[in-house]
Amino acid sequence: MLALALEFAVAAHGSQTRKGTQVPYVSHLLQVSGLVLEHGGDLEQATAALLHDVVEDTPATLEQVAASFGPGIAAIVADCTDTGPDEAPGSKRPWIERKREHLAHMRGVSARSALIVGCDKLHNLRSSVADLEVLGPAVLGRFNAPPAQQRWLYGELLAALRDKLPPRLHAELTALCERYAALTEGL
C-alpha cells in the first residue's frame, strides 16, 4: 500500500517543490511518512502521511483517495486538509480563515490523525528553523503568512493536539516552536 500511495502522490504532486526551494515535494511526504512510523504509527497512517497534502495542494479529491486507498485513509487525509471541497490550489480562502477553521477541527480529531498532523508540522518546523539558522530571515518570504501568524498557528496547534501526540513528538514540536519564536522575534 505504501508503494501505491507513493506512486499516487508523485503523480498528483508532479514536479512541485518545497516553497522557495528546489527540493522535490515528494521529499516532504517521505519524511512525514517516516516520522509517523518512527513515532509508533502503523502502515495505514504512514500511507495517509504520503497522501496528507494531495487534496489540499493538487487537483486530487478525497473521493479519489477513498476509492484508491479506502475510507480510513481518506478520513485521515481529510483531517489533514485545511481546504474545503470547493477550493483548489490557487483559489483558496484567505490563510487566516482556513487556519482558524482547521484549528477548530484539530480539537476533535483522533489520535490517529493527530499523529500525521504532528509529524507534518515537525518536518515543516525542522526545515524552517534550519533554513532560518543558515540563511536568515529572507527565507520567511516564501510563506503565506508573517512570522507572528505562524507562531500563533503553531502554538494553537500544540495546544489542540497536546493530549493526542506521543510525548516525544510533542516535546520536539514544543522545542522547535520555541526556537522558531526566538529566531523570528520582532520580524
- Find out if CATH 1.10.3210.10 is the number for domain 2-184: yes
In angstroms, the CA 47 to CA 77 distance is 10
Residues with Cβ < 8 Å from 16, sequence gap 6 or more? 24, 25, 57, 58
Mean pLDDT throughout 53-67?
Answer: 96
3-state secondary structure of 60: coil
Q: What is the pLDDT of residues 125-140, one digit of tens each?
A: 999 999 999 999 999 9
Query: Among 53, 56, 120, 172, which one carries the catalytic annotation?
Result: 56
Half-sphere exposure for 154 (CA within 13 Å, toward CB): 27
Q: What is the dihedral of CA 13, 17, 18, 20, to 10 degrees?
A: -140
Query: Among 7, 44, 53, 57, which one carries the catalytic annotation?
Result: 57
Res. 86: pLDDT tops 90: no
User: Residue 87: its pLDDT value, please?
Assistant: 84
User: Residue 186: its pLDDT value, please?
Assistant: 86
Position 153 confidence tier, pLDDT thresholds 50, 70, 90 = very high
Max alpha carbon distance in the chain (Å)?
Answer: 47
User: Residue 60: its pLDDT value, please?
Assistant: 95
Boundaries of every domain in the chain: 2-184
pTM of the predicted model as reported, rounded to 2 decimal places: 0.95
To the query of whether residue 57 is one of the catalytic residues in this protein, the response is yes
